[in-house]
Amino acid sequence: MTQNLKTKIMFFSGLSTKIDEEILSYLPTGYDLKLIKPDVSESDQADLVKDADFIISYRFNPVDSVIRSAKKCKLLQLLAAGYDSVNLGLLREMGIPCSNNGGANSWAVADHAVLLMLALFRRLLDSDNQTKLGNWHGNIDGTNTFEMAGKKVGILGMGNIGKKVAKRVQGFDATVQYSDMYPLEKKVNHELALDHVSMEELFSTSDILSCHSPLTKDTFHIVDGSRLRSMKSTSVLINTSRGPIVNETDLIKALENKIIAGAGLDVFESEPIDPSNKLLKMNNVVSTPHVAGTTWDTWSRRAKFAFENINRVLEGQEPSAVAKDFND
């Protein structure tokens, strides 16, 4: 790769020193990169980005006043997949494209989605708790645990992660159907053994419904009371995408009233989730703190993609994985 010796990168990082060092170990020679941590004042951040050619961020995004100072910036490169916390309207106004991580965490998220499915089907947390309490077999009575084999897994959003989830559950002998605004070609559906169905059929016939859509104006609260009520009473909902895709109030009602059997959630409408949230008190909910995409293995992929994307822009090409505005 070729680099301009004067190319300046500002890395807004909310990560640990160990992870910062891992990411920086992939920095190609010839770049001038400065690490900016959350304890740096906004005025100092604004001064630092004035000469920045590129900005990289993770768990610490520059605020609007800082972005407005980045008049030379050619790309805001996120190391995360989500971009709903970024002011894409302001970036567009300034002519600064924003790219996410290009699917670098898709393996990790797909693994986590399947983990949540199995944890619910096999009552993993309850079994662990009962065993530690000395209650051999505990609440497992032969009527309340299930296999993946033969079940129908519905995937809402067939992107990088959705495809990997499909491949994983097929390894458990489940069948896969999906709904997406932009379905795959029929040939690809056939090759991957996928059925594209309507949204109505997806919700009403899936034994497991797993959400893998980005948060947009079209997907906000796409899982609402009406759709939850159309699901099987034995079905479970998995969400490892974005919390606001699911109407949390409606989900709580559906779980309380046994409209669906359970939920596996890595994301919530408000994060960090309030400890008093009813979802955290339910024994048919498995919850994790938005960590589906966070594994040691992802950092090398995130870093490599980010620096390759920066180099792509330097060479006059369009950046990859450009985020679309929530309001488009």
| AA letter at 36 | I
Query: Is-contact 165 219, C-beta < 8 A?
Result: no
Please report which confidence band the pLDDT of residue 1 belongs to, taking 50, 70 and 90 as the band edges: very low
Distance CA 108, CA 19 (A): 16
What percent of the chain stands above pLDDT 70? 97
Q: DSSP label at 322? A: B
Instruction: Tell me what pLDDT residue 324 has.
Output: 80
Residue 261 CA to residue 68 CA, distance in Å, equals 48
Confidence of residue 6 (pLDDT cuts 50, 70, 90): confident
pLDDT of residue 5: 59
Q: What are phi and psi of 295, to 5 degrees?
A: -135, 160
| Count of CB atoms situated within 10 Å of the CB of 183 | 14
The residues annotated with a catalytic role in the active site are 242, 271, 290
* 83 vs 87: CA distance, rounded Å: 9
Backbone angle region of 30, left / alpha / beta, with phi > 0 → left and psi within -120 to 50 → alpha: left
The pLDDT of residue 277 is 98
Give how far Cα 93 sits from Cα of 35, 64, 238, Å: 26, 12, 36
Distance CA 188, CA 241 (A): 23
Token pair, residue 160, equals 């990088």
Confidence check: pLDDT of 325 > 80:
no
Assess contact for 91 and 97: CB atoms under 8 A: yes
Dump pLDDT digits (tens) for 253-295: 999 999 999 999 999 999 999 999 999 999 999 999 999 999 9
Chain-centroid distance, C-alpha 195:
23
**Could you tell me whether strands 262-265 and 152-156 are parallel, antiparallel, or unpaired per DSSP bridges?**
unpaired
Q: What is the dihedral of CA 62, 67, 72, 73, to 10 degrees?
A: 50
State residue 319's pLDDT score: 98
Mean pLDDT of all residues in the chain? 96
Q: What is the pLDDT of residues 97-113, one digit of tens each?
A: 999 999 999 999 999 99
Give the DSSP H or E segment for 293.
none
Please name the helix (run of DSSP H) or strand (run of DSSP E) that holds residue 201, with its range, or none.
helix 199-205
156-212 pLDDT tens trace: 999 999 999 999 999 999 999 999 999 999 999 999 999 999 999 999 999 999 999
Write the pLDDT tens digit of every residue in 40-72: 999 999 999 999 999 999 999 999 999 999 999
The arithmetic mean of pLDDT across residues 139-143, rounded, is 94
Tokens found for residue 252: 């709580």
User: Would you tell me how many other CB atoms lie within 10 Å of the CB of residue 119?
Assistant: 19
CA pair distance 219, 242, nearest whole angstrom: 10
